[in-house]
A and B are shown apart, each in its own frame.
Chain A
């Protein structure tokens, strides 16, 4: 028996937080379970006892990709609870901030996570070697989105300028002029992105999705609206929990959402586009026609084109808001004093889909109960169905290629899962 020391110098990494268990008999899928191992984080629990004013900054930490979404849904819920009416100019600023997040998040998703799947590269680094102009375009768009976040949010990662009732500080005219110039320059990049991704190969696959998204009469939804389903109903945000429920499945730490007495549903770009196509701008609708997209897209792979259209929309809408900017007379509306006991709900459209927040406040505005339903959770069950159908369509793929195809199918909807599961562990049993 001898002893020796082995030098390793290995950096521990967050990867492989997901697994897909697939049991097939012949070509038939008997079992398909998407398992997420990431431990629960208990945000809803530790919000209890904190001030209503802290919710935007605490919940923003839930996601490093879409912190603005958490700020928007939490502020909306608090403002509804307290009966606050935010000035229209401040609402426009929030919409502009949200455009920034859509641009940077979608650009990341499209170019750094999803495009390599279509072009046969394992990652964006390898993609950049052969297509440096494409990756540079993606980074330029992401930078434009970051500029919006920096101008309105104070910094590009986890912005700190959003508060219940408005902002801590609003931009100067000069700052907004600089931003307008950035967004103006990004328009051509966004249009080229639609052309770039619409040329990818899309196998003729359609899924029978129930789409759920916010809708509002006058605008493509970002910060507010009514919950609408392609199954033919609408509900106000306050009734969200009556219609949709989150539940625990025994094989995953992540919760799954379903429509009560119905089943899985899909939120995100495909849903927003299908339910709000006529509220896109003429330029975006023309880009969709040029890309060959119908007003309702059920091919999950083509989500990348819809996501690109949303980038174009967000750049154009952001530019419109920046051009129309007048420095508001006040950065935020007054808070009630004392803060009463109250309850409120907020739903906004995160890049990956509807994000629901509900808070119950006690006297003094102390949070007594918090409920957050993220788009990742809402899409989980529907993604699992996509994976099942993919496995049924491709029973003969070897394990490595099937794993790669499954990762691609997850990235059709959600980089929050897939970037952490770039090494999705496939537990495949063929009988």
Chain B
């Protein structure tokens, strides 16, 4: 019942992070989907272009890692793992990890 709202919340977070990090635009978003999250990779891929329209993530690529472990403590969750962003000239915001680690769980 809450798929739309979860997706909306996630897109808002993407926009907030990209804004606070001074990014010009988001090029790639990595998501992690728990086995019991009632989200499917296909649904996320299909909904993504519309959900991010008009945001800094418009046109971004979405990569979805799906867990099949129902015993994972995060199995019911949908996680925003990381963003790839384009930035302006060097000298902008710094101190941010340069590479994403493994997904949650």
Q: State A3–B100 Cα separation when bound (angstroms).
A: 13
Question: Which of chain A's residues have a CB closer than 8 A to the CB of B85?
Answer: 3-6
A16 to chain B, nearest CB (A): 7
Known A-B contacts A7-B97, A14-B5; the reply to A2 vs B13 at CB < 8 A is no
Q: Are A2 and B90 in contact (CB under 8 A)?
A: yes
Residues 74-92 of B at the A interface (beta carbon under 8 Å):
74, 77-90
Is A16 within 8 A of B1, CB to CB? Answer: no
Q: Is B104 a contact of A9 with CB atoms below 8 Å?
A: yes
Question: Cβ of A13 and Cβ of B9 under 8 Å apart?
Answer: yes
Given contacts A12-B13, A12-B79, A13-B9, contact A6 B21 (CB under 8 A): yes
Residues from chain B with Cβ under 8 Å of A11 in the complex: 74, 77-79
Does A37 belong to the interface (CB within 8 Å)? yes
Does the CB pair B86–A3 fall under 8 Å? yes
Chain B residues within an 8 Å CB radius of A3: 27, 84-87
- A3's closest neighbor in chain B, by CB? B86
Confirm or deny: B98 has a beta carbon within 8 angstroms of a beta carbon on chain A. yes
Q: Shortest beta-carbon distance, A154 to chain B, in Å?
A: 21
Q: Which of A170-216 contact B (CB under 8 A)?
A: none
Cβ-defined contact, A5 with B83, below 8 A: yes
A interface residues, tally (CB under 8 Å): 21
| Complex-state Cα separation, A15 to B96, whole angstroms | 28
Contact B98–A5 (Cβ < 8 Å)? yes
A233: B residues at CB distance < 8 A: none
Residues on the B chain within 8 Å of A2, using CB: 86-87, 90
Partner of B2, one of A4, A8, A38: A38
A262 touches B (CB below 8 Å): no
Contact of A17 among B5, B86, B100 (CB under 8 A): B5
- How extensive is the interface on chain B, given as a class? 35 or more
Taking a contact as CB atoms under 8 Å apart, the answer to whether B96 and A6 are in contact is: yes
Asked if B9 and A6 sit within 8 Å, CB to CB, the answer is: no
Q: Tell me if A261 is interfacial: C-beta within 8 Å of chain B.
A: no
Choose among A8, A9, A14, A37 the residue that contacts B6 (Cβ–Cβ < 8 A): A14
A14:B9 contact, CB within 8 angstroms: yes
A6-B10 in contact given A1-B87, A12-B77, A14-B5 (Cβ < 8 Å): no
Question: Contact: B86 with A8, CB < 8 Å?
Answer: no
Answer whether residue B36 sits at the interface, using C-beta atoms and an 8 A cutoff.
no
In whole angstroms, what is the CA distance A228 to B4 when docked? 38
CB <8 Å contact, A7 and B81? yes
User: When chains A and B are docked, how far (Å) is the Cα of A38 from the Cα of B3?
Assistant: 10
Using CB atoms, name the residue of chain A closest to B31.
A12
**CB-CB < 8 A to B18: which residues of A?**
6
CB distance from A65 to the nearest CB of B (A): 14
Q: Across the interface, name the chain A residue whose C-beta is closest to B94.
A: A4
Nearest chain A CB to B47's CB is how many angstroms away? 12
A8 near B1: Cβ-Cβ < 8 Å:
no
Selected contact of B4 from candidates A1, A8, A15, A39, CB within 8 Å: A39
Q: A1-B87, A3-B84, A16-B9 are in contact. List 14 more A-B contacts (CB 8 A).
A: A4-B96, A5-B82, A5-B83, A5-B84, A5-B97, A5-B98, A6-B85, A9-B104, A10-B79, A11-B79, A12-B7, A12-B77, A14-B5, A39-B4
Residues of B within 8 A of A (CB): 1-2, 4-7, 9-10, 13, 17-18, 21, 23-24, 27, 74, 77-90, 96-101, 104
- 22 pairs from A and B in contact (CB 8 Å cutoff): A2-B90, A3-B84, A3-B86, A5-B82, A5-B84, A5-B98, A6-B23, A6-B83, A6-B97, A7-B99, A7-B100, A9-B79, A10-B79, A10-B80, A12-B7, A12-B9, A12-B10, A12-B80, A14-B6, A15-B5, A16-B5, A37-B5
